[in-house]
Amino acid sequence: MPTTTFADGLPTPMLALNRDGMPTGEGWTYEPKWDGFRAIVAVRDAGVDLVSRTGRPLARYFPEVADLVGATAGAERFVADGEIVMVTPGAMDFGMLQLRLHPAASRVNKLAAEIPATLVLFDLLSEGGEDLTSLPLDGRRARLATLAGRLEIVGAPTSLADVPPGPALSLAPWTDDVEVATAWFDDEAGIGQDGIIAKRADQPYQPGVRGWIKVKHRSTADCVVGGYRLAKNGDGVGALLLGLYDDEGELHYVGHTSSFKAAERRALLEELQPLVGGDSFGGMRAPGGQSRWSAGKDTEWVSLEPRLVAEVSFDRMQDGRMRHAATFVRWRPDRDARSCTWGQLGLEPPSWSWSDQDTPSQGS
């Protein structure tokens, strides 16, 4: 069962399934897929909370956003869903956004002044203590637009290139016109937005449920780094070994990525050493020893504590694994490893037995 609330009572975000094509027909609406950090925004008597999709506090990293929300909201009390993005001249910059996740408060405050973020709101979950999640999406959008009008929040831009740079609050644009959605998907504005989210206009908000559809420019997945193999010459990491969790909390090996330059391989080897050890893939599908596919290859690998999350792109899944090597896209420090499940792909872990997979042969 999906988790529907965080420990503080806030609803967990509604999620989306990966699909290759955009759904069409009556009732479908479309929004840009923002390249940022998902955030549940709560304005309560105790103050403003920004909570990540895995329940982590974000206000400490984005104080300028929290302060702006509080100042704008005044006496209003509400819970909304949105995305924190970094708007730079002509583009959105996820790499710069990642710089904001710094442990030192002095550095956070410096970055908040130098590279402030923008909060884009796209859903309203409660207002004045009234739970709105059972309303259809078009009703929640109407309530959000009315609230934004009272608070003088920037309305939805007519062009994605007009999303305001931070510190700023804005509503997300949406459309039921497939041609407009296609133009957004094709990124005609050239700002680097990440695809399309398709939503049913009559759908209630379902915390923790993958009830929306996301169509990205490439097939991607957020995977747990469960281990690595050394480069052939021993000078650095040759490949990161990737996994996804099943519903029972077991980590399954799904593929590897080796798209790193020589200097990156050496740096990775040093950075991964504190995580060496543990039983990341356990008794599940694991990278391993000799099989009919691995004759003549070095299959020794080093297990890592499953803490790091990497976003990778890939061509397709076959028999529960990525058919070819995945391409490393970026690290996802905002993702909790346990949240990286098969559900994001709309797939179930395949059944398997020791007779049809590699036998684990773990290095040290």
Helix crossing, 105-114 with 63-73: angle to 10°? 70
Position 293 scores a pLDDT of 30
Residue 52's pLDDT is 94
3-state helix, strand, coil in the chain (%, to 5): 20, 30, 45
SS3 164: coil
Q: What is the dihedral of CA 221, 225, 229, 235, to 10 degrees?
A: 100
Cα 337 from chain centroid? 11
Q: Check 33, 110, 199, 216 and give the catalytic one.
A: 33
Residue 276 pLDDT: 93
pTM, two decimal places: 0.70
Asked if 11 and 205 touch (Cβ cutoff 8 Å), the reply is: yes
Q: For the segment 36-56, what is each residue's pLDDT rounded down to a tens digit?
A: 999 999 999 999 999 999 899
pLDDT of residue 310: 95
Query: Nearest Cα to 364, choosing from 281, 285, 279, 252?
Result: 279
Given this model, what pLDDT does residue 296 score? 37
Candidates 40, 36, 32, 30; CA nearest to 5 is: 40
Domain 15-216 fold: D-amino Acid Aminotransferase; Chain A, domain 1 (3.30.470)
Q: Which portions of the chain are predicted below pLDDT 50?
A: 289-298, 353-364
What pLDDT is attached to residue 95? 81
User: Is 33 annotated in the active site?
Assistant: yes
What confidence tens digit (pLDDT) does each residue in 56-104 have? Answer: 999 999 999 999 999 999 999 999 999 999 998 777 888 889 899 999 9
Cβ burial 3-24 (10 Å sphere, 16+ → b, else e): eeebeeebbbbbbbebbeebee
- The domain segmentation of the chain, as residue ranges, is 15-216, 220-363
Q: Which fold has domain 220-363?
A: OB fold (Dihydrolipoamide Acetyltransferase, E2P) (2.40.50)
